[in-house]
Chains A and B, each alone.
Chain A
Amino acid sequence: MRFALIGQPNCGKSTLFNQVAGYKAETGNFSGTTVTYTESKVRVAGEVVELVDLPGTYSLAGTNPAERETFHYLASHQVDVVINVIDATHLQQGLNLTLELAELNRPMILALNMMDEAAHLGLKIDGAKLRDVFSTPVLPLIASKGRGVRNVFLSALEIGKSQKIPMRPAYSLDIEEAIQSLVSSLNGREESLELEPLAIKLLEGDEILIAQVQQDVPGLSDRVLSIQQRLEQLHGQTPAWIISGERHRLAANLAHRVVEQGERSITWRDRLDNVLLHPLWGYVFLVIILLILFEAIYGLGSTLEEQLIGVFNVFNLRLTTLSGSNTLLIELFIGILQGIAGGVAIVLPYLLPFLIGLGFLEDVGYLPRVAFLMDALMHRIGLHGKAVVPFILGYGCNVPAVMSTRMLEERRERFLAAALATLVPCAARLAVVFGLVAFYLGPRLALGIYLFNLFVIALTGRILTKLMPEDTPGLILEIPVYRMPTLKNVLLKAWFRAREFIVEAWPILILGSAVLALLNYLQITSFFNILIRPITWILGLPEQVGIPLIFGILRKELSLIMLRQALGVTNFATALSPVQMVTFTVFVVFYIPCLATLAVLKRELGWREMILIALLTVLIAMLAALAARGIGMLVTAT
C-alpha cells in the first residue's frame, strides 16, 4: 500500500514524514524547500507501507514545478491513500487544496496539524463537521511533538483497506454541466485518473493533459475549447478562474462554519515582530544575531580546525620521516591526505556549525524576515530580499552559499546571486586577511579590506544588473509564524546539506590535491610562476607568489601557508612591503573561488556559467588589487 503526504508549504508535512521515516526529507520555513519527493518504507500496525512526501504545494494547477510534480505523481502512480496535512492555524488557506484533492476520487484523510498553535490562537475547530462535509476521517496532529502521528497512520491504513472515496462539494450549475458534458465525450476511456477529475482538469485548461488525452480522443481539444469559450462568454472569465474562485469561496465558507474564534492569547510571537521587524531595532538585532552566529562559528571552527590540522600535520611529518626520501608514491599520498584534510578542515569546523545555525534560523522563521528587512538594499544590486541568504552563508563558506541560490526562482537571479556570493570572503579567506594584513599591518586595515570588499560586491552587482536587467515585479514571500524548531529537524537538515558538499565537492578537492602533488614531484610547479607572471608583474608582486596563488584555488588558506614556503621567510615583513601585502590579500579575496566552490557552481548553474564566473572573479581581482596597489602607493608616498 502507498500513502502520499500532500499539503501546502510550511504545513509541517515533512516534519510528519521525518517523524516516521527518519533521515531522508528536509523541512524548512522557506516556502517549498522540499523540491523533489522522497519515499520511505514505514511500518503501520504490522504492515509495511510506502510513504511518499510530495513537494509542498498551494494547489494542483500546474503553474509551477512543485504543483506539476504533485499532480503528475497523483495522476500516474498508484496512491492508495492521500494524507492531506493542513496547517490548522490557516485552515481556510489549506482547504483550497483539500477541495482540489477531494475531486481526485482517491481515498483521503485530513490531518489537522499544529493543533497546539491553533489553540494558542484561540481557534476552535469542529473536526466532526469537517468530516461530514468531505465524508472522510479528520484527525488532530501535532507533528513537531509526535502527537497524533500513530492515529493518522492507523486511520490511513483503514481507509486504504476500505477504499472509501471522499465527497466532492459541488460547483455552480454551469460548471457542473460543463464537467458532465466533458465526461460524456471521454466515456469508455481507460485512465489512471477517473473521468470526472480528468474532466475538471481539462476544463481548467491543463495543456499537457489536453495534449495527452487528445491522442486517444480525437477532437477533444476543440471540444474543450468550445466549452471553455461558452463559459467565458457567460462569466467573463476563464473556467480556470471561475473554478478556483469558487473553490476559494467554498473554502472560506467552510472555514467560517467549522472554525470558532475564541479568546486569543497574545503570545511572545506577536510581540517579537514589533522588535525584530522594527525599522530601526530590526536592523540592530539583525546585526547582533549575525554577529553571534559568526562569533560562535568562528570560535568553534578555528579551535577545531587547529586541532584537526595538527593531527594531520603530525601524520604528514611521520610519513616523510618514515619514508626518508620523497618518492612519487609518498608525494601523491601526502597530496591526497592534504585533500582529505582540506575537506575535514572546512566541513567539520565551519560548514557543519554553520549549517546547524542556519537551519535553526530557518526553522524558527527568522530567515524570511531577514529577506523582508534586506529587500530594499538587495534591490540596489539587482536582487531581491530572498537572495540575502547566499551572502550570509558566503561568509562561512561559499559552497553552501552557492547551493542556497537554488531557492531563487529566476535563472538570472540564481546566476547573479551565485556570482556575487563567491566574492564574499569565506572563513578560509578570513584566515589570509587576518594572518597577513591584520597581523602585520593592524586590524583596522583588515576591516578596511572587508568594507572595500562590500563596496566591490555592490559595484559588481550594479554593473551586472545593467547588463542583465531585472524583469520580475519583486519580492513575494510568505512570512511564517515563529516556531520552535526541533533539534532533530535542524540536525537532519544540516546533515542533508553537508552531505552534498561531501559527495560533490570533496572528491574533487582530493583529486586536485593529488594532481598538484604530482606536479610538485615533477618539479614543474615553477612553471606556475611563469604562467602567473603577467598578473604578478602588473600587481608589483614578487614572482614567487605564483605557486601560492595556484594552490589557493584548492583551498584559500593554502595561499598563506604556501607563501611562507615560496618566499623562503618566516616573517613576511622581510619579504613583502605593506603595499604588496595588501595587494596580495585583496587579490586572494576576490580571485577564482576555490575548487569546491567551482564544483558546486558547475552543478548548480552549468559549465558555461562556472567558467564565466571564474573569469569574472579574476578580472575583478585584478582591478580591485590594482586599485588597492594604487591607493597604497598614494598613501605611502604622502
Chain B
Amino acid sequence: MELISVGIGKWVRVVGIHGGKDLENKLRQLGLVPGDCARILRQAPLGGPFLIEVSGRSIAVGRRVASLIEVEDSECVSL
C-alpha cells in the first residue's frame, strides 16, 4: 500500500519508492530509505502535504510524493 493511504500516527515500514532515482535520492538524503519506519504526523488541509517522521526527522512531502512511497503494515516501532 502507499503511504498516502495510511492514517495519521500509525508506524509503517517503507518498502519502496516508485518515482525514479532522483526522487529516491532526495528522500534518502533526508533519511527516508526503504527498510525504515515512518509515520504521518499531520496533513495540511485542502489536499496539502504530509508531515512525516522518519529517522528522527520531520519531513514535509507533497501528496504525489507520498503516493509514490510504498509501505507495509509490519512490526515497526521507532527509537
Inside 8 A of A245's CB, which chain B residues have their CB? Answer: 33, 35
Any B CB within 8 A of the CB of A58: yes
Inside 8 A of A379's CB, which chain B residues have their CB? Answer: 62
Number of interface residues of B (CB under 8 A): 33
Contact flag A375-B56 (CB < 8 Å), given A58-B29, A277-B42: no
Contact flag A473-B51 (CB < 8 Å), given A90-B56, A248-B33, A478-B30: no
Any B CB within 8 A of the CB of A477: yes
Q: How far is the CA of A385 from the CA of B48 in the complex (A)?
A: 9
Shortest Cβ gap from B27 to chain A (Å): 7
From A31, which residue of chain B is reached at the shortest CB distance?
A: B30
* Cβ-defined partner of A475 (8 Å) among B45, B47, B60: B60
Q: How far is the CA of A365 from the CA of B28 in the complex (A)?
A: 22
Inside 8 A of B68's CB, which chain A residues have their CB? Answer: 473
From B26, which residue of chain A is reached at the shortest CB distance?
A: A476
CB <8 Å contact, B62 and A474:
yes
Inside 8 A of B49's CB, which chain A residues have their CB? Answer: 372, 375-376, 385, 474-475
Mark interface residues in A353-396 (1 if CB within 8 Å of B CB, else 0). 00000000000000010011101110100001100000000000
Residues of chain A from 502 to 554 with CB closer than 8 A to chain B in the complex: none
Inside 8 A of B27's CB, which chain A residues have their CB? Answer: 476
Shortest Cβ gap from B54 to chain A (Å): 10
Q: How far is the CA of A248 from the CA of B31 in the complex (A)?
A: 9
Contact flag A476-B62 (CB < 8 Å), given A63-B25, A279-B45, A372-B44: yes
Residues of chain B from 55 to 75 with CB closer than 8 A to chain A in the complex: 55-65, 68
Any B CB within 8 A of the CB of A316: no
Q: How far is the CA of A248 from the CA of B27 in the complex (A)?
A: 13
CB <8 Å contact, A473 and B19:
yes
Inside 8 A of A384's CB, which chain B residues have their CB? Answer: 62
Shortest Cβ gap from A91 to chain B (Å): 8
Mark interface residues in B13-48 (1 if CB within 8 Å of A CB, else 0). 000000100110111111101010000001011111
Q: How far is the CA of A481 from the CA of B42 in the complex (A)?
A: 15
CB <8 Å contact, A474 and B64:
yes
Shortest Cβ gap from B2 to chain A (Å): 13
Inside 8 A of B25's CB, which chain A residues have their CB? Answer: 61, 63
Contact flag A476-B65 (CB < 8 Å), given A279-B45, A375-B48: yes
From B31, which residue of chain A is reached at the shortest CB distance?
A: A93
* Cβ-defined partner of B30 (8 Å) among A58, A256, A371: A58
Q: How far is the CA of A473 from the CA of B50 in the complex (A)?
A: 14
Any B CB within 8 A of the CB of A19: no
Q: How far is the CA of A5 from the CA of B66 in the complex (A)?
A: 34
Any B CB within 8 A of the CB of A59: yes
Shortest Cβ gap from B4 to chain A (Å): 12
Mark interface residues in A455-489 (1 if CB within 8 Å of B CB, else 0). 00000000000000000011111111100000000
Any B CB within 8 A of the CB of A327: no
Any B CB within 8 A of the CB of A302: no
Inside 8 A of A479's CB, which chain B residues have their CB? Answer: 51, 58-60
CB <8 Å contact, A376 and B47:
yes
CB <8 Å contact, B28 and A375:
no
Inside 8 A of B29's CB, which chain A residues have their CB? Answer: 58-59, 63
Inside 8 A of B28's CB, which chain A residues have their CB? Answer: 58-59, 244
Q: How far is the CA of A375 from the CA of B55 in the complex (A)?
A: 23
* Cβ-defined partner of B64 (8 Å) among A371, A473, A477: A473
Inside 8 A of B64's CB, which chain A residues have their CB? Answer: 473-474
CB <8 Å contact, B58 and A478:
yes
Inside 8 A of A475's CB, which chain B residues have their CB? Answer: 49, 60-62, 65
Contact flag A375-B57 (CB < 8 Å), given A473-B65, A474-B65: no
CB <8 Å contact, B57 and A478:
yes
* Cβ-defined partner of B55 (8 Å) among A93, A373, A377, A477: A93
Inside 8 A of B63's CB, which chain A residues have their CB? Answer: 474
Shortest Cβ gap from B35 to chain A (Å): 8
CB <8 Å contact, A476 and B61:
yes
Inside 8 A of B30's CB, which chain A residues have their CB? Answer: 58, 476, 478
Inside 8 A of B44's CB, which chain A residues have their CB? Answer: 277, 279, 372-373, 375-376
User: Which interface residue of A273, A377, A379 has the most chain B CB atoms within 10 A?
Assistant: A379
Inside 8 A of A259's CB, which chain B residues have their CB? Answer: 79
Any B CB within 8 A of the CB of A597: no
Q: How far is the CA of A256 from the CA of B55 in the complex (A)?
A: 12
Any B CB within 8 A of the CB of A92: yes
Any B CB within 8 A of the CB of A89: yes
Inside 8 A of B48's CB, which chain A residues have their CB? Answer: 372-373, 375-376
From A251, which residue of chain B is reached at the shortest CB distance?
A: B55
Q: How far is the CA of A377 from the CA of B46 in the complex (A)?
A: 8
Residues of chain A from 242 to 273 with CB closer than 8 A to chain B in the complex: 244-245, 248-249, 255-256, 259, 261, 273
Inside 8 A of B45's CB, which chain A residues have their CB? Answer: 279, 376
From A67, which residue of chain B is reached at the shortest CB distance?
A: B29
From B22, which residue of chain A is reached at the shortest CB distance?
A: A63
* Cβ-defined partner of B59 (8 Å) among A92, A273, A476: A476
* Cβ-defined partner of B57 (8 Å) among A63, A90, A277, A373: A90
Q: How far is the CA of A552 from the CA of B65 in the complex (A)?
A: 44
Q: How far is the CA of A63 from the CA of B21 in the complex (A)?
A: 10
Known: A58-B29, A245-B33, A476-B23. 7 other contacts (CB 8 A): A59-B29, A63-B22, A92-B55, A92-B56, A273-B42, A371-B60, A481-B58
Query: Could you list some 30 contacts between A and B, CB below 8 A?
Result: A58-B28, A58-B30, A90-B55, A90-B56, A92-B55, A92-B56, A92-B79, A93-B31, A93-B57, A255-B79, A273-B42, A277-B42, A277-B51, A279-B45, A371-B60, A372-B49, A373-B44, A373-B48, A376-B44, A376-B45, A376-B48, A379-B62, A473-B65, A474-B62, A474-B63, A474-B65, A475-B49, A475-B65, A476-B23, A479-B60
8 A-B pairs closest in CB distance: A474-B62, A376-B48, A58-B29, A475-B62, A376-B46, A479-B58, A279-B45, A474-B64
